[in-house]
């Protein structure tokens, strides 16, 4: 999780830490190292992190075959249709991209929980 809002980071870690190993980093280099060390089920990224080209980081993860199917939850101070539009279209991976306003804590937690459930119990092809 690359999130600058410490209160939100603690909330997510408190609610989901019992179900999964949660790693919180504060910069893009830390994020890259954490992603490389542990293949995450989900990446949570704060789009408003200072000195971070979030779009570039997301597309870099998507374009790396090893991580192309990892789901990403992107958080912003305010989500507009313009912000959400186009992110998924440019990615080459199979992972899903979810965009939320940072204030939507319940929806964020529900989305991450759903991703963790899907990772734990993947669908089987017939």
- Output the six-digit token pair for 12: 């997510």
Q: Residue 75 in 3-state DSSP?
A: strand
Task: Please state, for a pLDDT cut of 70, what percent of the chain lies above it.
Answer: 83
Question: Is residue 122 scored above 70 in pLDDT?
Answer: no
Give the chain's domains with CATH numbers: 6-105 (3.40.50.2300)
Does the predicted model carry a pTM greater than 0.75?
yes
Average pLDDT, the chain: 81
pLDDT in tens, 32-87: 888 889 889 899 998 888 888 888 888 888 888 888 888 999 888 776 555 555 55
Q: Residue 61 in contact with residue 72, Cβ under 8 Å?
A: yes
H or E element in which residue 10 lies: helix 6-16
DSSP string, 12-51: HHHHHTTTS----BSSHHHHHHHHHHS--SEEEEETT-TT
Residue 76 and residue 83 in contact, taking contact as beta carbons nearer than 8 Å: yes
With a CB cutoff of 8 Å and minimum separation 6, the contacts of 2 are 25, 26, 27, 28, 30, 31, 43, 44, 45, 46, 49, 52, 57
- The helix/strand/coil state of 100 is strand
């Amino acid at each position: 999780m690359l999130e600058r809002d410490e209160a939100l980071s603690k909330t997510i870690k408190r609610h989901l830490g019992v179900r999964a190993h949660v790693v919180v980093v504060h910069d893009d280099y830390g994020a890259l190292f954490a992603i490389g060390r542990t293949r995450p089920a989900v990446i949570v990224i704060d789009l408003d992190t200072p000195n971070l080209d979030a779009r570039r980081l997301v597309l870099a993860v998507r374009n790396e075959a090893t991580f192309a199917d990892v789901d990403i939850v992107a958080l912003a101070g305010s989500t507009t249709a313009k912000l959400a539009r186009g992110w998924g279209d440019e990615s080459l991976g199979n992972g899903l991209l979810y965009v939320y306003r940072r204030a939507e804590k319940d929806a964020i937690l529900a989305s991450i929980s759903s991703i963790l459930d899907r990772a734990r119990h993947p669908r089987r092809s017939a």
